[in-house]
Structure 1
């Protein structure tokens, strides 16, 4: 009896042990041998495990799966079908070359997918169609050469996409047509030379566009950013030599613009005013030589300007719409000339943040390697000074030339800072640097092939921050002299001559010209008649029957007659009439 009781107890303990093992297995899911699992976080970490395939014995309850730094080459058909709770899948730094169709089947809840730093060449149609909840896709640092038109079909919730360090030579515009919810797009290290028109016009919800490290990107087409309502635009480490004013002008919601590390040389005036909400401009490490007056006119919310590591010698307060909103000005590592043009910075140094490195004087010998912000107000009044321009050849110049000659007027000025020279024509309009009347690079005015209408008084204006000086010169152009002029007013045909003061076009010929023209016309007419006579003579000889008598009638003057139909008079010109008898 006792033995029977002992046997029953042993059987009971065995059943309890099996039950406890079963409950433990349900409470603590199996973890692949080469992985580390966290039951509380529901995370499976298989990083750095030398895996060549995705483990098959993964817990169905996992929400995080880390497969980084392995040797996985292929994602097989329905590879993750059992992981329906998975939210985060990281396959960074593997050897992925192929992603089979339906590889992500079953991952309806997945929100984050990282397949960066792999060897994927092509995204085929419907590669990501089974990821309706995906919000973040990182496909950076692959060897992508082609993205199929329907590759992103099914990504109905995608917010952020990284396509960095690829071999794409064109923007996959048609592929983007599926990403109507995308808000952030990153391009990095692409082989782009330009952005074509309407490159992103399907991305109507896009707010952030980042394009960086594209060394051959030297142009943005005028409508390349059309249809976008960006708040942040970054185009850095490219080859842009001018500010892309035209592609930017419609971005009225833009808050931050970063064009750093491009060889841009200037920011011109009055061309950024359409960016009404712009608050920040970063242009670090460029080739900026000047920021013109009114460069930021219209930017009433402008708070931060970062132009460090450029070639600026000054930055005048006139570049800004208002100094009140400006909070941060980073200007270090520029060859600044410390003169009166920088006084406004000293006056506002209490309100401005100049960053970690203060701007230094580099092109002023007496202040070299000094920060002008460290001087007291009394010291600065004698240090940051300017000298008003003075034109050296200040005597008025009067020049008379014949029509067709070229004349040059010099305008030489000195001052500190170096004055800028401008010329104005007799109508007080600025003279450009192109055309027949133009300003040379040394500041002189050249009038090429002078015409009578060029006569008048021209003005040279030398100006800098301290004031201006002016010089006026007079030009008189003598027209060509002709004798016994005959003027012909051309009614129907307008010649390429210059109009007179009344707007009429005239051509003038002398008597000798008329005589030569008449002689040439007569000789041409006589030659034609002679040829006709010779032809008719030869023709009659060839027929064998000679017409012995010829009557020639010549009407030397124009005659006026009435038409048989009574439609009025008509003019009959001189003619020959010949009749053979």
Structure 2
């Protein structure tokens, strides 16, 4: 039988070579060594398949591609994985796709080498380490899926046996650590590590993945983002960081991602939009930041010339969109703020420069009126499930009904509390829009000494006049529909009190009172290190100074008599919150002061804002003496500082 097989192969080979000879104009005389090797190789494999006969597909598997030569095998619930591995050895030259799921696989030491394998799915097993023998290689593998396994650590060079891999899915594991250069995968395009336990990213994790286009780190425990995280991912097009605990961005976090087009930061703990970091994403097209803790979006906070789509849905704490909030996004096409259930005030001029805007979604918010200027140029607007007032929206509905969607679900309340669908607006009786101040943050506002604070109040109609009365009895009038909030650049203890906001319309005068409560900052000072001739002092990052360009930060060293021996100006941008006091002597009192001035000339010209002290007994090195050191945080303002704090900006 084998002789007949070999004779058949030889005749087929000779005929093939004769055809090549005739085509190329020369005569077949001999068979060289390479030709003979090729002939023998084909004979051996033919014998192997002949000996196998009609190989049955393993139990709990589904095989395709023929009984003798499988190209695809899908197995689930295999009881004895090692026996299956033995069976697969006979198919290692033909198998292209292999799926072994829900089979309690934990050991891969007997996993056969498969040179042609393109796709491998090992999901829903018990694998905690890729212990495939080092000599085994899978040069053709493009996709590896290992979801729902028991990985806790990804060790260095864990996937070197897959040099051609383009997609790696490690989601739904227990990964808390990724070793240095764990992914040495030069062709990898998609990396998915979602639903794991990562708290930080190794700065070398992405170092040897120059082709990476998609990165998914969603559903982890990341709390901050640093620039070193993505320094080597310069070709990244899309990144998903949603469902983490991200609150802080440090050191130009996205400076290297100049090709990034899609970024998902939704479902995190961000309280302030990271404007500076986001501006580095010059190619950004889609930005998702919904379900964060933003309370307001201020004038020109977002600046992206290429951005087309913004998703801020489920921003449950968002209350205000100020005027020109999106004015620096000229190509904005779609914005979604649905289910922002605290969004009470939308400035009529929030989108005044967004002439390319096509669709806005404000469904399930807390809006009482419709923004006429927005409806005048947007093609489709969703405002269903808002507490709209019929008397305040009837003119807008009649004029821009063709721009509104979900008309049946978009309702308003009449003066008598009757709920009406705007689809029936033509049948409504005439009704007045009652003058009433709109307070996005309610009647109570809290702020911390040193931070920036805005107190918001708005009217419902363009003809209304807005009046303010400050705690010091100063009256301010805003005779237009675009009122200015009371904005304090630096909150002082004396700012606490009642702020009265009144709406005047003809003979009507309605006012409401907003109470500002000022808290003391939670400042903690401590000695970080004590040497023979120096002291390192440190403080926490709880000084909420936003006007850093106007505030000057000094460290003052005083001797035992209270006299200043040293004054050093520090930077409020210092991320380390520490300072080394060199050439220190015993029995010194050290005071850290924060001062506000546009042109500081002398520390003595400032009046105190807030001061706290902490006494620490520290032992100097190379000395048996003990010194009592006093550390203090002192916030102060120049005597003319109150003139610098004025009401400015618009809603």
CA shift, 1:381, in A, is 9.8
TM-score w.r.t. length of structure 1: 0.62
1:276 aligns with 2:305: yes
CA pair 360-389 structure 1, distance change in 2 beyond 3 A: farther
Mean Cα displacement is larger for which, 203-212 or 193-202?
A: 193-202
Unaligned runs of at least 5 residues, structure 2: 5-45, 385-404, 435-459, 510-600, 606-651
CA shift, 1:36, in A, is 1.8
Alignment of 1:539-550 (within 5 A): none
1:61 aligns with 2:118: no
Aligned with residue 119 of structure 1, among 150, 156, 161: 150
Aligned with residue 434 of structure 1, among 491, 500, 507: 491
Helix, strand or coil for the counterpart of 2:120?
A: strand
Helix, strand or coil for the counterpart of 2:349?
A: helix
- Equivalent residue number for residue 70 of structure 1: 103
CA pair 127-368 structure 1, distance change in 2 beyond 3 A: farther
C-alpha distance after superposition, 1:495-527 (max 9, x if no partner): xxxxxxxx9xxx9xxxxxxxxxxxxxxxxxxxx
CA shift, 1:334, in A, is 0.6
TM-score w.r.t. length of structure 2: 0.55
CA pair 413-188 structure 1, distance change in 2 beyond 3 A: same
CA pair 132-392 structure 1, distance change in 2 beyond 3 A: closer
Alignment of 1:159-238 (within 5 A): 159-214=189-244, 216-229=245-258, 230-238=260-268
Alignment of 1:102-181 (within 5 A): 102=133, 105-153=136-184, 155-181=185-211
- Equivalent residue number for residue 409 of structure 1: 473
1:244 aligns with 2:289: no
Mean Cα displacement is larger for which, 99-108 or 232-241?
A: 99-108
Distance 1:239 1:110 in 2: 39
CA RMSD of the aligned region, Å?
Answer: 4.2
Distance 1:364 1:416 in 2: 26
1:80 aligns with 2:109: no
Distance 1:344 1:104 in 2: 68
Distance 1:162 1:195 in 2: 18
CA shift, 1:76, in A, is 1.4
C-alpha distance after superposition, 1:359-401 (max 9, x if no partner): 84678856775555763599899669625115498xxx9xxxx
CA shift, 1:332, in A, is 0.7
Query: Contact 2:59–2:78 (CA<8 Å) still a contact in 1?
Result: no
Query: Contact 2:183–2:209 (CA<8 Å) still a contact in 1?
Result: yes
- Equivalent residue number for residue 64 of structure 2: 38
- Equivalent pairs counted in the alignment come to 411
CA pair 112-29 structure 1, distance change in 2 beyond 3 A: farther
Distance 1:369 1:72 in 2: 60
Distance 1:422 1:262 in 2: 24
Query: Contact 2:183–2:206 (CA<8 Å) still a contact in 1?
Result: yes
1:388 aligns with 2:469: no
Query: Contact 1:219–1:240 (CA<8 Å) still a contact in 2?
Result: yes
Unaligned runs of at least 5 residues, structure 1: 1-11, 13-19, 398-406, 424-429, 445-460, 470-502, 508-581
CA shift, 1:96, in A, is 0.8
- Equivalent residue number for residue 312 of structure 1: 343
Distance 2:302 2:478 in 1: 32
1:92 aligns with 2:123: yes
CA shift, 1:72, in A, is 0.2
Distance 1:268 1:42 in 2: 58
Distance 1:217 1:465 in 2: 46
Distance 2:57 2:425 in 1: 68
- Equivalent residue number for residue 314 of structure 2: 285
C-alpha distance after superposition, 1:77-121 (max 9, x if no partner): 6x231x111111000100112211546932101011001100012
Distance 2:324 2:418 in 1: 29
Distance 1:71 1:220 in 2: 41
Query: Contact 2:309–2:335 (CA<8 Å) still a contact in 1?
Result: yes
- Equivalent residue number for residue 537 of structure 1: none
